[in-house]
Amino acid sequence: MASMRLDINGRPYTVDVDPQTSLLTVLREYLDLTGSKYGCGEGACGACTVLIDGRAQRSCITRVATVLGKQLTTIEGLASGEQLHPVQEAFLEAGAMQCGYCTSGMIMSAVALLKKTPQPEESDIVNFMNGNICRCGTYPRIVSAIQKAAKVMGSAAAGKGAGR
């Protein structure tokens, strides 16, 4: 057991936990941040995806000791107050879910993709997202949601640029 300080969604948390514990378990069980989901426990489905310093990582195979001093973002920290992130908005608009269990991980992966590749081709989306499973089969809608979000974020960024 060790006392650990974590930076999650811009807030400091302290947990007393075995450093070998998975980040997913810490988030869900110790901090009650249950938006990140368990799906397979081996990093093969993407339901547990969180951002670690902006990069999409599978929290179920990430030991909590390895994320000290890093900035974590989970699905709970994506919206600013009532204002949803454009990717969240786009998932709603595209109806890109059925049961929604994969949605958190899909959105977190998509946010990381758009950070890396702001205007992705369809093949970029398929390649980047291929580690995330949706058993309801809403993949085409997720692709179109990511395209929508890219468009919205692209024009918002252009608007900001013009204002400067």
Per-residue mark of binding to other proteins, 77-96 (x: CB under 8 A): -xx----x---x--xx--x-
Q: What is the DSSP string of the chain?
A: -EEEEEEETTEEEEEEE-TTSBHHHIIIIIS--TTS--S-SSSSS-TTEEEETTEEEEGGGSBGGGGTTSEEE-GGGSSBTTB--HHHHHHHHHT--SS-TTHHHHHHHHHHHHHH-SS--HHHHHHHHTT---TT--HHHHHHHHHHHHHHHHHHHHHHHHH-
Per-residue mark of binding to other proteins, 98-127 (x: CB under 8 A): xxxxxxx--x-----------------xxx
Instruction: Using the minimum distance from each CB to other proteins, give the nearer residue, 68 or 126.
Output: 126
CB of 163 to other proteins, least distance (A): 28
- Binding residue (CB under 8 A) for other proteins from 138, 144, 149, 150: 138
CB of 53 to other proteins, least distance (A): 20
